[in-house]
A and B are shown apart, each in its own frame.
Chain A
């Protein structure tokens, strides 16, 4: 079955307006499926709840900047060594974005619970001394361990309605190779009801089946494959290109101005097709290389 769709059609068909729980893959400024994120912003798909990997970055901040996110379940949204995430920070500080406070253990084990149909994820002893679960009673409960009688922390399973995940390459059936670090992208794909893959290139099934063990997302989990070479820009795509820190610094500068992050969204996302955006970035990079 051929699951390859255009960027426009993949979002139109698989990301409904008002999607209940949308998970976005990649970690820090690496392997963020930015072409899919930008297309969601262009099509103005509202997101009732956004879930990040243990470290969300530009993927989450751009959706928030686009005015689309009602709530976010996350353990981190930031730009690592480049600074805080401006849209996330501003929206939480002014009260317009509700945060379901999570930690890395809950996001990982909660997704595993979602993937495995486990009723909840029991969490290691000691995590209950942090304030995380107290700040998020919807996702966490203290329960009795049926074996020891001890009070242990449990997290609700995480079952994204849709997961957006980047892979280096896939065939038309959605069998996918992650180019570098896995982060929690595999787990996210296993837990989600619908998986939309963004890839650098679609390759023949013969090329994939030469390395079945390295093909870590099986096509039966995948609903759509979108080929966008360069589509993680300005984040890195492992095996293909690095973080465009200059571009991200422009975003941070624009977002810090009077108009806030919306200025960037209007100029670079809603004011531009994906093809024009990528061509302009390619031209900018080529220009900088010549200087």
Chain B
């Protein structure tokens, strides 16, 4: 998930790649008072957090789960969340302590998530497609995604926007989103705020506050609403007007490329 295809927007070789645009989209959703945590294959959100710190959110904290480097310096960003380069950081915490604090519920305000399947209510599945005991596809496993139920805001990202990934209902509920919608969400009485956004190579999505179903927010430059609809395996809520995603500024691109000096988001 950390490497992208190097496709650029608008054809200019110096323009942002899809991966870079996605990093900017995630960064825009981070706040100065956030403490964010992320896990497996999380180069993209790590870069987004570092970008946010170096622009609008200098007091943001982020923990690269695995090594649990706190505010890792990156430059270069690395594809594995367990790489010792992530210990070039402000500090580091043992993973068992981060797991403990994830349970506290009031420490981490943002959790990044993804999945083999992501459904209309933002539930995520990394375990299996089909029957779990004889799956048609066995995924790696759910890692820390059940903690999504306790976190302030969940930011979902994926490099795969297609009908196999975006399904009406996950086959295995590992990372809770808005469950089966408003009634089940209210009944569960969770402390977390649920999924806040979904960033894909085609678009950025939010959630309809009434139905708690995924709703298209913006399409990335060069992508049509019809393309997004066809790539999504469930009925997507569509506002009357769907603006284009705001492209990164030259400053954002320059900072991104200094953080990601190895070019993970440029397909290198």
The 8 A-B pairs at the shortest CB distance, nearest first, are namely A78-B140, A126-B149, A124-B103, A76-B141, A104-B144, A130-B146, A181-B67, A92-B138
- Assess the B190–A129 pair: CB atoms within 8 A: yes
Tell me if A77 is interfacial: C-beta within 8 Å of chain B.
yes
Mark contacts of A90-126 with chain B using CB atoms, 8 A cut-off: 1 yes-contact digit, 0 otherwise: 0011010000011111001100100000000001111
Q: Are B84 and A238 in contact (CB under 8 A)?
A: yes
A contact residues, total (Cβ < 8 Å):
50
Cβ-defined partner of B99 (8 Å) among A76, A102, A104, A181: A104
User: Is residue B6 contacting chain A, with contact meaning CB distance below 8 A?
Assistant: no
A184 CB within 8 Å of chain B: yes
Q: Which of B51-59, B75-83, B234-242 contacts A (4 or more CB under 8 A)?
A: B75-83
Q: How far is the CA of A84 from the CA of B129 in the complex (A)?
A: 14
A222 adjacent to chain B (CB < 8 Å): no
* Smallest Cβ-Cβ distance to A72: which chain B residue: B141
The answer to whether A30 and B142 have CB atoms under 8 Å apart is no
B142 with A76: CB separation less than 8 A = yes
Most chain A CB inside 10 Å of its own CB: which residue of B83, B95, B139, B175:
B95
Q: How far is the CB of A32 from chain B (nearest CB, A)?
A: 10
A74 vs B136: C-alpha distance in the bound complex, in angstroms?
19
Assess whether A85 is interfacial by the CB under 8 Å rule. yes
Asked if A204 is at the interface of the complex by the 8 Å CB criterion, the answer is no
Q: Does A127 contact B (CB under 8 A)?
A: yes
**Contact B146–A105 (Cβ < 8 Å):** yes
Q: Mark B131-152, 1 if CB is under 8 A from A, else 0.
A: 0111111111111111101100
Distance between Cα atoms of A129 and B188 in the complex (Å): 8
Determine whether the beta carbon of B146 is less than 8 Å from that of A108: no
Contact A181 B96 (CB under 8 A): no
**29 residue pairs bridging A and B, Cβ less than 8 Å apart:** A28-B66, A29-B80, A55-B82, A76-B142, A80-B80, A80-B81, A81-B80, A84-B139, A92-B135, A95-B134, A101-B132, A103-B142, A103-B145, A105-B99, A124-B104, A125-B191, A126-B147, A127-B149, A129-B176, A129-B179, A129-B188, A131-B174, A135-B127, A180-B84, A182-B95, A183-B66, A236-B82, A238-B87, A243-B80
Q: Closest Cβ of chain A: how far from B132's Cβ, in Å?
A: 6
> When A27-B95, A108-B95 are in contact, do A236 and B84 touch as well, CB less than 8 Å?
yes
Does any Cβ of A come within 8 Å of B2's Cβ? yes
Contact A93 B137 (CB under 8 A): yes
Task: Kindly state whether residue A89 has any CB partner on chain B within 8 Å.
Answer: yes
A187 at the interface (CB under 8 A from B): yes
Instruction: Name the residue of chain A whose CB is nearest to the CB of B135.
Output: A93
> Which has the most chain B C-beta neighbours within 10 Å: A101, A123, A186, A187?
A101
Q: Which residues of B contact A179 (CB under 8 A)?
A: 84
The answer to whether B84 and A30 have CB atoms under 8 Å apart is yes
